[in-house]
A and B are shown apart, each in its own frame.
Chain A
Amino acid sequence: MSPIKVRMGLLARAALTVVILAIATVTVAPQALADDAAAQAKALKRVERELRQLRADRAHDRKVIEQLKQTVDQMEGQAAQLKSANEQVKSAQTKTAQQVSEIQGRVNSGPSPRQFSQAFGSYFGTHTFEITGAAGVDYIYDQQSGALNGLPHQSQNTFLADWEPMILYRPTDWILFEGVISTAFGATGTGADLSTADFQLQLNDYLTVVGGLFDQPFGDWYEAQSPMWVNRFVSAPLPFGVDPVVPPGEMGVQLRGGLQWGALGQDFDYTTWVGDGAGYSEPVAGAAVGSPNPVAFTQTNGKGYGARLRIYPLPVDANWGRLELGASTYDSKWLDGSWYNSWGVDYNYFIGHLQTRGEWTQAYRDIPGGPSDNRQGWYVQAGYYLSGVHLPFGPEINKVVQRLEPLIRYSGVNQHFVAIDDIAAATGVGMGGIQTGLVPDFGLNGSPALYAPHSREVALGLDYWIAPSIVWQNEFDIELPEAGGTFVAGDGTMTPVGAVPNDRAFLTQFTIGF
């Protein structure tokens, strides 16, 4: 029985006793009351005892209730703790399941290209070693049937293979080593040529130092247009061919950089350099210039100095295309202190599918005891991608047509003297360094117009672009020498000649920039 029920029972009994006593008191006669006074006193005492007992029981019950209450509170606290712990366990289980699911998802989907690249890069370290460059196969047909009577002809009906790997080594994000090896197999065998080998140190946003063997930073051609897949034509323009007006390479140091002077795209850049200077195949008028080569060291008493400035006036946001205007100079001592001076201007512009570029160069060379060897050279070219053309001949034909780029180029060189030995020995053109055999690394053109006193050439081209750096190029050259001049032998003997007869040549090339 519970303590509460016991207490209630005792209280009921006490109340009943009081009621009985009251009834007895009312109902019994006063005489009887007097007689029973002693008995009543006894009964009252008994009631008082019972009441005391009841109070004691009640106090005891209260104590028991308090204890029970405390026990219940403790149990409730423990239950709450258990509930909380249970919830935590449940939450942890859910979280773990989510994490496992995420990990599983990541494992299933694999890393993103960027994550993979970062992981790959960090695994192999920060040093990057890479080979890019270009390769090509050419076919040249150049009959030269009526060329240069009494001099070696260069009739060509031959295939050529040309491979120019460019090795890039990047030890950190501001240092690069670059080297280009030009190799070729042609009519005269295999040739190899170290075209460039230089360090590039990007010291800050405005200054890069280049040291070593590099393309001549004169004008635009040698640096920007000489790779096979970049040049839209198979051949180089006449001023940059095998008998160039300005040396194609230099061994020395450059300082260069660029900055934005106006809106986005309105840039300015500079290049200055010092090097070993120009060298010539022979110390006679009309000799081919080529630098640096072993001859340069014996011919030069001083160094060569150059500078080029370029400006880009059109803002990108205007959508007027990209225009570059440049001016260059290169001055060098040769042959015991005699001077070679040159200067030039160039432009290039492209907008949409149209691109056009051109250069003018002029060179003066003092020859001790002889006539000054002055030359001018120029070219202007334009090309238009047909990618926007839609002909009414079905999608297959349009697909072919839209990959075509028709081209035209006019170039010329004015020179009064031509070295006969250069014609006899011409086998190709290297960018610089020691050249053996045939190295047509930036355009071979065996036309006699190259060695004509006043050569002119119209080149018509049709390129078929398979990819941005894979192209099949076709070129038809019309050589139109303008006037005669003088052929000079190695011993200095000069022979006047008339204009070299006209000539035609066809060149085709499949080339890949990789």
Chain B
Amino acid sequence: MRKLLFALLFAGLALGPFCGPASAADQMSKAEKGKLFLLGAQLWPTYCNQCHNARPGSEFSPQEWDAIMIHMRTLSNMPAKDARAIQEYLKGGR
């Protein structure tokens, strides 16, 4: 167990600088954002409802969703691209 943990830690830290931190959707083009929004709309009811009632985008500001979605991605371990899609949907669907 300990060896596995250290192996994962080193692998992650080694890969980290190359993969970079989670890229922001702000850097995307309008068309890419549109695609992401649609994907988010599809995933939002499925991923969120798995643990709790899905909350609408209007409940929080886009800045608040940015913080909440880091928390939710960490907690749920959902794929990063799916988290970005849901984030875009929640921010854009206000």
The chain A residues found within 8 Å of chain B, CB to CB, are 113-114, 117, 120-121, 124, 128, 130, 132, 168-170, 172-176, 178, 200, 202-210, 220, 223-225, 227, 229-230, 255-260, 264-265, 267, 269-274, 305, 307, 310, 316, 322, 324, 329, 331, 348, 350, 355, 465, 468-469, 513
Contacts and interface: CB of A to CB of B under 8 A. Distances in A.
Q: What is the predominant secondary structure among interface residues of chain B facing chain A?
A: helix
B31 interface: no
Given A113-B94, A121-B62, A204-B16, A258 B5 contact: no
A186 to B, nearest CB: 25
A469 B63 contact: no
A264 B62 CA distance: 25
Contacts of A307: 1, 4-5
Given A117-B63, A128-B67, A176-B67, A468 B12 contact: no
B21 A173 contact: yes
A317 to B, nearest CB: 8
Nearest to B58: A113
Nearest to B73: A202
A257 B39 CA distance: 20
A178 B70 CA distance: 10
A256 B74 contact: yes
Given A117-B63, A132-B68, A206 B15 contact: yes
A153 to B, nearest CB: 35
A265 B47 CA distance: 9
Given A176-B74, A322-B46, A267 B79 contact: yes
B13 to A, nearest CB: 7
A227 B70 CA distance: 18
Interface string B59-70: 101111011101
A256 B20 CA distance: 16
Interface in B1-27: 1-2, 4-5, 8-9, 12-13, 15-16, 18-22, 24
A111 B82 CA distance: 29
A208 B12 CA distance: 9
A269 B77 contact: yes
B55 interface: yes
B28 interface: no
Interface of B: 1-2, 4-5, 8-9, 12-13, 15-16, 18-22, 24, 39, 42-43, 46-47, 49-56, 59, 61-64, 66-68, 70-71, 73-82, 91-92, 94
Contact of B55 (A200, A255, A267, A469): A469
Contacts, number: 168
Contacts of B59: 469
A170 B72 CA distance: 13
A205 B22 contact: yes
A132 to B, nearest CB: 7
Contacts of A113: 94
Q: What is the predominant secondary structure among interface residues of chain A facing chain B?
A: strand
A207 to B, nearest CB: 4
Given A316-B43, A350-B50, A206 B62 contact: no
A178 B72 CA distance: 11
Nearest to A132: B68
Given A130-B68, A200-B71, A316 B46 contact: yes
Contact of A173 (B22, B47, B64): B22
A121 B53 contact: no
8 contacts: A117-B62, A120-B61, A203-B16, A223-B75, A257-B77, A258-B79, A260-B79, A348-B51
B58 to A, nearest CB: 9
Q: Which 10 A-B pairs have the closest CB atoms?
A: A204-B19, A269-B77, A174-B21, A205-B80, A207-B12, A258-B77, A468-B53, A203-B16, A170-B67, A176-B70
Given A202-B73, A316-B46, A168 B67 contact: yes
Contacts of A350: 49-50
A513 B60 CA distance: 12
A274 B8 CA distance: 12
A118 B28 CA distance: 15
Given A130-B64, A173-B66, A322 B50 contact: yes
A435 B74 CA distance: 26
B28 to A, nearest CB: 13
Contacts of A205: 19, 22, 79-81
Contacts of B55: 468-469, 513
Nearest to A204: B19
B7 to A, nearest CB: 10
Nearest to B64: A130
A468 B1 contact: no
Given A170-B70, A271-B77, 17 more contacts: A117-B63, A130-B64, A130-B67, A200-B70, A202-B70, A204-B19, A205-B19, A207-B15, A224-B75, A257-B77, A264-B39, A269-B77, A270-B8, A310-B77, A324-B50, A348-B50, A468-B56
